[in-house]
């Protein structure tokens, strides 16, 4: 592999409107596509700073909601955790050991409506 990078991640959801609201309105992702409805509905989102796209889908096949873990970086863990709390999002306590004891990397987790985990870290 030369200079390959991730360009998108697909996550199954059980309720598209709940998931779209969580990622767009609560976490600040931008909706860049919203295609289909019902069993074949998918929504593409991007973070405000760019990077890989997140595709939410109801066309799941063998993939089930709740098994994904996303890692998102932020410049200030404390500030973001307070912002998310004001939006009604439950967060775990901030820790400082993402890469093991003594690493000093601050992080916390939140879960989306399907219990997919988001690890938010200050790198």
First-last CA distance in the chain: 25
Q: Are 116 and 65 in contact (CB under 8 A)?
A: yes
Closest CA to 120 of 86, 78, 85: 78
Q: Are 51 and 45 in contact (CB under 8 A)?
A: no
Please check whether residue 46 lies inside any domain of the structure.
Answer: yes
pTM attached to this predicted model? 0.83
Please check whether residue 51 lies inside any domain of the structure.
Answer: yes
Average pLDDT rounded to a whole number, residues 96-112:
90
Domain hosting 18: range is 8-122
Please check whether residue 2 lies inside any domain of the structure.
Answer: no
Please check whether residue 3 lies inside any domain of the structure.
Answer: no
DSSP H helical segments within the chain, as ranges? 16-21, 77-86
User: How many separate domains does the chain show?
Assistant: 1
Note the pLDDT tens digit of each residue in 7-62. 888 899 999 999 999 999 999 999 999 998 878 899 999 998 888 999 999 866 77
Please check whether residue 63 lies inside any domain of the structure.
Answer: yes
Please check whether residue 1 lies inside any domain of the structure.
Answer: no
């Amino acid at each position: 592999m030369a200079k390959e990078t991730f360009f998108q991640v697909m996550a199954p959801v059980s309720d598209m409107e709940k998931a779209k609201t969580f990622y767009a309105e609560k976490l600040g992702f931008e909706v860049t596509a919203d295609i289909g409805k019902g069993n074949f509905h998918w929504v593409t989102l991007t973070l405000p700073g760019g990077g890989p796209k997140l595709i939410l889908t109801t066309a799941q096949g063998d993939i089930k909601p709740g098994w994904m873990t996303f890692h998102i970086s932020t410049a200030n863990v404390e500030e973001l955790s307070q912002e998310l709390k004001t939006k009604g999002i439950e967060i775990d306590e901030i820790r400082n050991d993402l890469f093991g004891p003594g690493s000093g990397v601050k992080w916390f987790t939140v879960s989306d409506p399907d219990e997919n985990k988001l690890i938010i870290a200050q790198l």
